[in-house]
Amino acid sequence: MLTFAIISALKVTVVIIAVLTGCAYATWLERKLVGRFQHRIGPNMAGPFGLLQPIADGIKLIFKEDIVPDNAERITYALAPIVMFIPALLSYAVVPFGDQVTLFGYRIDMVISDLNIGILFIFAVTSLGVYGIVMAGWSSGSKYSLLGGIRSSAQMLSYEVAYGLSIICVLVIAGTLSLKELVAQQEHFLDWFIFRQPVGFVLYAICAVAETNRAPFDLAEAESELVAGYHTEYSSLRFAMFFIGEYANMIAVSSVATTIFLGGWHGPFLPPVVWFSIKVFFFMSVYIWLRATLPRLRYDQLMNFGWKVLFPLALLNVMVTALVFRF
């Protein structure tokens, strides 16, 4: 019992550190890649290739003045970034990073907790992020923040539907909710669900971009109309929390995509964790590529696209999949 507790605590610590470092370096990766996409160099002054840039940014954000608006609802205002950040972290609890390893005679699963309802858990916690946005928008005491918060939450809720439906197709084929089981079913390259469920993958990718409020669906940050949406009034470390939350969300979504569609940690020659990282990195790069290429959608276009294109497509996909695999 004690060993189990110690091992779990260790796993949680390692994962949290890895995720936070990953978030920091995701910002570096994004700036570097977007720079190159735009024919620039990107950060290169702090350390080799600008690799110390995230640390410099972190120090800067910590020492910036923390402003709380007079009209703000203090407690909610302070809670919102945390509510935004925690769900993003929680979803790592069920993502398997690799196979079993034997360490000091103990067999350790490379997953914090192998829930038999893993995907449901991920749905449940990722949808909690909306609360953070609404709380931030409402508690700031600014009309712009409120509008931005409502817009973002409406967007996230709209895309949540198609997001869920796109994974349901996979579940119909796999017949399990456990992520470990899902990965086990994708052992051979051609068994990857991206090949068995390509439409589902595309739908998932699009919805994931919208879920994490990224370009071209980053209406939360429509700076021309709303300054910065729900986090307009936030500064310093509170803003950094939103920022980290967004990137943690991105990595979480990429990890889930890797696990569900891209065969999880399976891959030849290299150790499982490396394969997992490579796939997540690839998905993140595609995210950034999208951002560098596509212009931002207008709000009505966004809603039309979500409800009139993605939702029917996802429904149709579920129907076809169910028909093919159940009869």
Partner 1 sequence: MVDVIKTVFIAFPKGFYTTLKHLFMKPVTIQYPRVKKPMAPRYRGLHYLEIYEDGTERCVCCGLCAAACPADAIYMEGAEKEKSERYAKIYEINLLRCIFCGFCEEACPEEAIFLGHEYEFSNDNRDSFIFTKEQMLTNRPVKEKPFKRIIRRVRRIF
Instruction: Report the interface residues with partner 1, using CB under 8 A.
Output: 33, 35-41, 289, 292-294
Please report how close the Cβ of residue 298 comes to partner 1 at its closest, in angstroms. 15
Please report how close the Cβ of residue 40 comes to partner 1 at its closest, in angstroms. 5
| Closest to partner 1 by CB, 38 or 102 | 38
Please report how close the Cβ of residue 41 comes to partner 1 at its closest, in angstroms. 5
| Closest to partner 1 by CB, 36 or 64 | 36
| Closest to partner 1 by CB, 123 or 281 | 281
| Closest to partner 1 by CB, 222 or 292 | 292
Other C-beta atoms closer than 10 Å to the C-beta of 13 total: 10
What 3-state DSSP class applies to 103? strand
Type of residue at 26: A
Comparing C-alpha atoms, which of 190, 204, 75 is closest to residue 139? 75
Other C-beta atoms closer than 10 Å to the C-beta of 220 total: 24
As a whole number of angstroms, the distance between CA 274 and CA 295 comes to 33
Please report how close the Cβ of residue 218 comes to partner 1 at its closest, in angstroms. 17
| Closest to partner 1 by CB, 37 or 299 | 37
Comparing C-alpha atoms, which of 80, 178, 78, 197 is closest to residue 129? 80
| Closest to partner 1 by CB, 226 or 297 | 297
Type of residue at 258: T
Return the H-helix or E-strand segment holding 121: helix 118-126
309 secondary structure, DSSP code: I
**For 241-246, which contacts have Cβ atoms below 8 Å and span 24 or more sequence positions?**
241/81, 241/82, 241/84, 241/85, 242/81, 242/84, 242/85, 242/136, 243/27, 244/20, 244/23, 244/24, 244/85, 245/81, 245/84, 245/85, 245/88, 245/129, 245/132, 246/88, 246/212, 246/213, 246/214
Please report how close the Cβ of residue 200 comes to partner 1 at its closest, in angstroms. 17
As a whole number of angstroms, the distance between CA 244 and CA 196 comes to 34
As a whole number of angstroms, the distance between CA 148 and CA 138 comes to 9
Please report how close the Cβ of residue 35 comes to partner 1 at its closest, in angstroms. 7
| Closest to partner 1 by CB, 100 or 293 | 293
Please report how close the Cβ of residue 292 comes to partner 1 at its closest, in angstroms. 5
